[in-house]
Amino acid sequence: MKKIAITMGEPGGVGPEIIIKALHSGKVRSRFAPVVIGNADVMREAVKMTELPIRIRTISNISDLKPKPGHIDVFDIRSRLPVKKCVSSKSAGSAIIKYIEKAVELALNNEVSAIVTAPISKESLKMAGAKWPGHTEMLADLTNTSDFAMMFASNKLRIILSTIHISLKDVPKKINEKLVLRTIRLAKIGAGMLGINEPRIAVAGLNPHAGESGIMGTEEITAIIPAINKARKDGINASGPYPPDVVFHKALNKEVDMIVCMYHDQGLIPFKMLAFETGVNVTVGLPIIRTSPDHGTAFDIAWKNKANPSSMIEAIKQALKMEGKRSWT
């Protein structure tokens, strides 16, 4: 059975709960050998909270992993806890960094086939002094990856982001031909990871009406159109730039397979509206497989036994699918 590492995520968030519920659901458990990278005591407390018939077993080596119904193996990484529930904290930030570092180490050493990451708080990372604004940048740094992007996939919509965790006012300064072309190329790789070998890639404009021939902005003329033209010369089926208020409708009508978005919320607002509980976050460009639920720590419902594990289940399923077809590497 394939071994997949699942990082526990923010100790005070919904990560421990959705991992337990996902693995207990039976929808994925029989298909792989999971190992949770995190704190065993926190996982035991979460099991008690969910009242599910599960026992936590600690391991210190992947070779000790022994999948068994009703059990969850935890690669126990001790950190300065107890958990501060439902809030960000420096101790949580330090802990989640250790979880992710260990998971990456295991994946790079081929001890696990993929990583699924539970949600973390960017504020906790910052409080712990981390240099990364989020999971994606951290994973890229730990794997020495320079070309990477955030892709989000669901049955209804697939998007990839040109810029990630930066202020909206800084987005226009970052949009250039090189960046957009790189993202289009990563979109083709990402589509291949999803099993779409000849994807139709639509590129969104940055400005309203995709700039309206320069009337509402020139980024389409100076950066986006030249990037699309170069991608086409490379044999990539890219089109656009499309007005942002039109391009997502084209995807819903199955006219395109993937949308290249210029900034975080341009893509994430429609995506989460359509697939909040089933969407999956995939990091494209890494030498390892990494997926994640498409939601955050949900501090408002954390540790109340209210969290829905659907997105975690889909993230695990997607990791298994990608591991089964490595033609995209």
For position 81, what pLDDT does the model report?
61
pLDDT of 82 reads: 65
Domains assigned to the chain: 1-145 (3.40.718.10), 146-285 (3.40.718.10)
Q: What is the pLDDT of residue 30?
A: 76
- Residue 52, SS3 per DSSP: coil
**What is the secondary structure of 13-29 as a DSSP string?**
SSHHHHHHHHHHSSSSG
Low-confidence residues of the chain, pLDDT below 70? 79-82, 324-329
Strand ranges (E), the chain: 3-7, 33-38, 55-59, 71-76, 114-117, 149-153, 158-161, 201-204, 238-242, 258-261, 280-284, 290-293
Q: What is the pLDDT of residue 80?
A: 62
Structure-derived torsion over alpha carbons of residues 205, 293, 114, 100, reported in degrees to the nearest 10: 100
CA atoms within 13 A on the CB side of 2: 20
* pLDDT for 327: 47
Q: Are the C-beta atoms of residues 152 and 325 closer than 8 Å to each other?
A: no
Strand partners, 173: none
Whether cis (ω within 30° of 0) applies to the bond prior to 287 is: no
Q: With contact defined as beta carbons under 8 Å apart, do 319 and 114 qualify?
A: yes
The alpha carbon of 129 is separated from its chain's Cα centroid by a whole number of angstroms, namely 22
Task: Give the pLDDT confidence of 212-224 residue by residue, as tens digits.
Answer: 999 999 999 999 9
CB atoms within 10 A of CB 40: 20
The predicted model scores a pTM of 0.93
Say what the pLDDT of residue 329 is: 45
Q: Enter the tokens of residue 260.
A: 């290249």
Say how many CA atoms lie within 13 Å of 32 toward its Cβ: 26
